[in-house]
Structure 1
C-alpha cells in the first residue's frame, strides 16, 4: 500500500518537476477529492470552495450525473478524433449549445480544448469572415494563454514579458473600470470620457474599415468581476454595427449560469453578439470549449482551419451534455440569481460594518469584493492577502484578483447551510482584520497574480 503523504511532501516532490510558470501560487495544499461545494486535501482537511475551480465547476465537484455520464461514455469510447469523424455525444451537444446561444438566426459551433483556443478561434473566424486584420480588446482582460488569446489579454505583465513578439494586429483600449472614475464625475460623464478613449485609436491610426472584431468580457472576470456600464456597451456595440465590425464576447468565466443568467451578455438588453467563446464549466471542468457564432461567420473557414485532435471527444461531450441537463433540471441559473441576492445582501452588510470594504459587485453567485485602505480609498493588497489567508485557515477557499479584490465564485450547487457557514467565516476574518489581529503569511510576496 502506498504511503500517505502530506501536502508539503507532495508539493516538494512536485516542485522538482513542475514549472513555476504553470501555477499562480496561493495555498500549500494538494487537492485530493471534492463533492458539491466541498474540496478535501490529501491530509483530509475539508474546505468550502468559494472559487469553483476558477468558475469551471458551476455544477459542483463530482456531480453524480456528470460522473455517471463520464464513466458510462468511457466504457463505450474514450476517444476518436472529431477532426475526422463525428461522435454521438458531440453530435447531440452541438445543436443544444447552438440553441442556447444568445444569437438570433442560424448558429454553429466549433470545438476546442480550453477557453484560450476558443478565443483564438474568434480571431480566426472574425478575420476570415471580414477580410480584415485588426482585433480590438480591452485592458484588464483575461482571454487565455495561447498566443492569440494571450495577445488580446492584459491582466498581468507576465503574460507578455519575455515572450514577444505577440500576435500582430491587436489594439487594446481602456476598459471602463470603476476605479478610473474621477472624483465628482457622474456616470454619464464617465461613460463619455471612456468612450472618447475608445474612439481615439479609430480617429488617429486605426481605420475602422480594417477592424475585424471587438472582443470584450461583458463582465470582466480576472480583471475584478466588473460589469461594463450599459451605456458604454451600447455605444461600442453601435459603433461596431455602423462600421461592419463583428462584436465578440468572452463567456468562458461568466457563462453557464454563473451570473444568474445563462450568459453574462444577457444582462445587456438589446446587445447580441456575432461570436462568443465558451469553456470552463461547459463540461463541468473537463477540457472542452467552443466558439459559437452566426452561421455565415462560422462557414468563412474551410476544413482543418480549426480542428484539434481531442476537442469535442466523446467523454468531454458526454460531460457537457450531462452538465446542461444538471443546470436545467436543478434550475442552477435561477439558483445563482436567488443565492446571488443573498450573497449581495451579506456583502452589503459587511460593507456597512467595515470601512475597508470599498465595493462589493455581485452578479449572481459571482462577485468581486474590493478591499481598500480606509484613509485613502486605494486598494489594500496587504489587507486582502491577510483576509484571504485567514479565510483559508478558517476552512474556505477564496483568492484575490488585482491584488486587492476577493474573488467570490462558489459552485452553483452550494447549499444555503454551506453558504451561511462561508459567510460566518468571512465575517470572522473581517472582524479580526478590523481588530488588528491578522498578520501576513511568511510567503505573502509569492501569493496571487502579479
Structure 2
C-alpha cells in the first residue's frame, strides 16, 4: 500500500526540478537596449505609427512611475540622512569633506568640458543659424535661483515638483529634529518607516527597468533616428567623450591615487546604478539603487544615507559641468559671440555653485539657462539643443550617478571608515541579492 510522499521527499523533488537560470540585471538592461534599438529602427524604417506610440507609452509610464515618488522620497531621504549624521563620528567633518569633493570633481569636469569645446568647435559647420533657436518657456536666473530656494508654502513644492525647495524644507526639518532630540523620536521613527516604504516601492519600479529600456531607447530611435544627430554630430560626440573621460578617466585616477582602491571594483559594484541612470535619465529615481551599491562598496550605511541623497540633488558632473560648458561654446559659435577667459571662469563658477538648480530631475535646461544668462548669451540657444537633449541626457545622468557613488567612497577611504573587504567583494547586483533575500527559505523536514 503506497503512502503519500513525506515533506522531505517533496522538498527534494522540488529542489531537483530544473530551474531557469537567472539573467543578471546588467544583462537584462543590455537585452532591453538591443531590443529597443531594433524595434525603434523597425518602427522608423517601416513608418509603423502604432509601434512608435507603444514604445512611447512604455517609456513614459516607466518614467512616470519613477517620478511618482520623487517628491516624498527626496524629502524623507534628506530629513533622515541629516538625522543619521548624529550616529556618525566627526559628522561635520564628513559633511564638509563631501561638499569639498563635490566641488573638486565638478571643477575638473567643467575644465574637461571647456577644453573639449575649445578644441572641437562644436558649433562650426552645423548649418544651424540663430533663427533655428527659440526661447524656453522657463529660464533660470541667479535671482530666481536664490529666491526660489524658499517656498511660499509647504504644498506647492510637492505639487510642482520643485526639488530644490523640497531639499530646503527637508534640511530645515532635519536640523530642527536634531535640536529637539528625544522629543522628535516619534517623527523620526515615522520618517524612517515612510522612507523604507517608498524605497521598497521604487525597487519594484527599478525591476521594470529592462522593459522601460525597450520603450525609452526604442522611441528615441523611432522619433529622432540618426538624421538629427548628424547636425549635432560634433556636439553629441563632445558630450559623450567628455562624460566618458570623467567617468572612466578622472574617477579611476581619483580612486587609485586618493582612495587607494581598485577602480575596476568600483565599476563592478556601481554598474547597476550607472546602467539605470543611463536609461531612466533621473538621478533621484536612481537614488535607492545608488545608495544600495554605495553601501555594498563598503561605505558605512549611516554616512551613505547622507551623502547619496545629498549628492542626488546637488552632485551633477554631467548635467551641471560638462554639458553647460560645451553647450555655452556651441551656442556662442552659432550666435557669433566671442567668449573670453572671464566667461570661461564664470562657467566654472556657475557649474560649482549653481549645480543644485538641476535638482536631480530629467534634463538640465534650468542649468543651461542659468549659465547662458550669466554669460549674457541669447536664451534662444536653448531651443537649438532641446531636440537632441534626450540622447545627451542619458550619458549625462550616468556620469552624475557615477560621481554620486564615487565621492562617498573617496571620503570614506580618506577618513579610514571604508570597509575595504566589502569593497573588494562588491561584484554581484544588489537587485539579484535583494530578490534572493525575498525568497522563502526551504522548510526543514
Q: Same fold by TM (over 0.5)?
A: no
Structure with the higher helix share, 1 or 2:
2
Structure with the higher strand share, 1 or 2:
1
Larger Rg: 2
TM-score w.r.t. length of structure 1: 0.24
Highest relative contact order (Cα 8 Å, sep 6+), 1 or 2?
A: 2
TM-score w.r.t. length of structure 2: 0.25
